[in-house]
């Protein structure tokens, strides 16, 4: 339970002290044995980024199929029609996980393989595929962690009633989720309702850089309609209500018999105040409220953060008393996807180029950037947003412990990418010492949060097993422990040096 009185700035100051004032030796020798007994190590993926086979075995079209095939939406003009072809190659990939010593595999089910149009008739071939995948994982001693929704909404529901903008989605998502519980719940013991609702709300409905590509700020010509001032909040609201509805169904009808657990995966950067001024400290707190708090506080307290309600006002939907009650405590664990740390600075103005902005980014009153005074916060991976700040994961875990009552947390994604240069040979691409250092340092920082600070963290999933199709970045970004030769018809996998590092790490 949360303490009756909570000073958010005090919590933030404490987390900053933990992360930046206490030296952490990131070069120390750590291994699986350094972590508490039962701590889970795995790799993570998603259906759209991995499976391919987009027109096979009755799978329906998704909003990401539509988006990826729209000119100019993907950086390298690619699509995920084939990607890693895990739909066909999963037996081989399971062996790769087993050989490394991984305990678990987090993957998502493609809603449109179960219900090609989002609702209506079940596609039995889709059911059969995931049964085969789940059975193969378990036969090899790998525990499935299943995400029900990783952004790939059936296009049929988008066409029918605008998808996540319509509360009808709550009913259809619940029907899909219950089908999964019925069909797979006898073997799947770890369910995740949603992956990163913050990303899907902001990127899809505020700035328009993800499917379905809706926005109204700055570059409305790039979007197919939308309202950046309201739609992100409507989508987030419907996602939260869908989550609560599905968790309620699982707990009432399935959990006791199937003996599984259910949670949600949220994403968050850590935000360090750009200066020690009270304005910037408060801005960092608001940045966290509008990133993590937006979705975790309804689950902990049954309502949105106070800063969101006061700043967004009537544009932020409200929960009824019954909805609030259903949301509060609707999880067995919280998944956290964490990659990086940025600075936060107070922004007293929401006018850019003469335009008054009302959207989820401007509403926070915080400017967040990975550099200050022209200097980056740390070394960068390939992605323009991903700076390598291992201490941030410790600080974020302590923030969750202090502010939200230390709920069970699983790190459901953490990793870094290299670029996909045609001038780098496969042999050279396998030499990923930077990735090895990234995981060593982040795991060292996470271990300190667990063993020294008492953070309730239960597992760690690497993003990602394989190089894959990285949404709007396409194939320009390689996050995998295994290099995938996308030019090869067989999509051959090559172990990078990080595979050897993890194999040694997990063996001890």
Q: Read off the pLDDT of residues 161-203 as tens digits, 9 standing for 90 and up.
A: 999 999 999 999 999 999 999 999 999 999 999 999 999 999 9
How does DSSP classify residue 471?
A: G
Please, is 328 exposed, middle or buried when counting C-beta atoms within 10 Å of its C-beta (0-12, 13-18, 19+)? middle
Helix (H) or strand (E) holding 495: strand 493-495
Cβ neighbours of residue 21 closer than 8 Å, sequence gap 6 or more: none
Q: For 459-482, how does the pLDDT look when each residue is reduced to its tens digit (9 = 90+)?
A: 999 999 999 999 999 999 999 999
Beta bridge partners of 110: none
The Cα 245–Cα 263 span in angstroms is 12
Is pLDDT of 3 > 50? no
The Cα 467–Cα 486 span in angstroms is 9
pTM over 0.75: yes
296: tokens are 């975790």
Instruction: Map tokens 């966290």 to a residue.
Output: 288
The Cα 293–Cα 309 span in angstroms is 12
Could you list the active site residues? Answer: 196, 413
Q: For 353-401, how does the pLDDT look when each residue is reduced to its tens digit (9 = 90+)?
A: 434 467 888 999 999 999 999 999 999 999 999 999 999 999 999 999 9
54: tokens are 């987009």
Q: Which fold has domain 32-295+329-506?
A: TIM Barrel (3.20.20)
The Cα 85–Cα 91 span in angstroms is 11
Cβ neighbours of residue 385 closer than 8 Å, sequence gap 6 or more: 340, 370
279: tokens are 């304005």
Q: For 56-101, how does the pLDDT look when each residue is reduced to its tens digit (9 = 90+)?
A: 999 999 999 999 999 999 999 999 999 999 999 999 999 999 999 9
Contact (CB, 8 A) for 258 and 332: no
């Amino acid at each position: 339970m949360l303490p009756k009185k909570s000073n958010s700035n005090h919590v933030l100051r404490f987390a900053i002290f933990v992360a930046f004032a206490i030296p952490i030796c990131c070069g120390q020798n750590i291994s699986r044995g350094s972590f508490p007994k039962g701590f889970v190590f795995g790799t993570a993926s998603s259906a759209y980024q991995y499976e391919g086979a987009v027109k096979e075995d009755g799978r329906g079209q998704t909003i990401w199929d539509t988006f990826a095939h729209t000119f100019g939406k993907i950086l390298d003009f690619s699509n995920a029609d084939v990607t890693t072809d895990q739909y066909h190659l999963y037996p081989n990939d399971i062996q790769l996980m087993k050989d490394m010593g991984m305990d678990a595999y987090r993957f998502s089910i493609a809603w449109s393989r179960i219900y090609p149009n989002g609702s209506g008739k079940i596609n039995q071939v889709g059911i059969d595929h995931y049964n085969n995948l789940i059975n193969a994982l378990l036969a090899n001693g790998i525990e499935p962690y299943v995400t029900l929704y990783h952004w790939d909404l059936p296009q049929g529901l988008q066409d029918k009633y605008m998808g996540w903008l319509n509360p009808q989605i709550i009913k259809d998502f619940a029907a899909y989720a219950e089908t999964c519980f019925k069909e797979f719940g006898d073997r799947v013991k770890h369910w995740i309702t949603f992956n990163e609702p913050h990303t899907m709300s902001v990127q899809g409905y505020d700035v328009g850089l993800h499917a379905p590509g809706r926005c109204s700020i700055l570059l409305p010509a790039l979007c197919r309609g939308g309202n950046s001032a309201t739609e992100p909040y409507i989508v987030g609201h419907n996602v939260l209500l869908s989550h609560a509805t599905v968790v309620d169904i699982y707990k009432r009808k399935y959990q006791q018999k199937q003996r599984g657990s259910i949670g949600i995966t949220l994403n968050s950067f850590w935000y360090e105040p750009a200066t020690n001024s009270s304005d910037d400290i408060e801005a960092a707190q608001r940045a966290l409220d509008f990133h993590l708090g937006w979705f975790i506080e309804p689950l902990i307290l049954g309502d949105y953060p106070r800063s969101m309600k006061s700043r967004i006002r009537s544009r932020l939907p409200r929960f009824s008393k019954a909805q609030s009650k259903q949301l509060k405590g609707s999880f067995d664990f919280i998944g956290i996807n964490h990659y990086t740390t940025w600075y936060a600075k107070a922004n007293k103005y929401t006018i850019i180029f003469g335009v008054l902005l009302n959207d989820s980014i401007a509403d926070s009153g915080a400017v967040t950037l990975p550099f200050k005074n022209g200097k980056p916060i740390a070394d960068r991976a390939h992605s323009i947003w991903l700076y390598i700040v291992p201490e941030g994961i410790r600080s974020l875990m302590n923030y969750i412990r202090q502010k939200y009552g230390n709920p069970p947390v699983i790190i459901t994604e953490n990793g870094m990418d290299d670029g996909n240069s045609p001038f780098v040979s496969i042999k050279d691409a396998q030499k990923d010492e930077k990735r090895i250092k990234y995981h060593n340092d982040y795991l060292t920082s996470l271990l300190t949060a667990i063993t020294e600070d008492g953070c309730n963290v239960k597992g760690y999933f690497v993003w990602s097993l394989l190089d894959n199709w990285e949404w709007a970045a396409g194939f320009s970004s390689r996050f995998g422990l295994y290099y995938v030769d996308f030019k090869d018809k067989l999509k051959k996998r090559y172990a990078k040096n990080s595979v050897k590092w993890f194999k040694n790490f997990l063996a001890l």
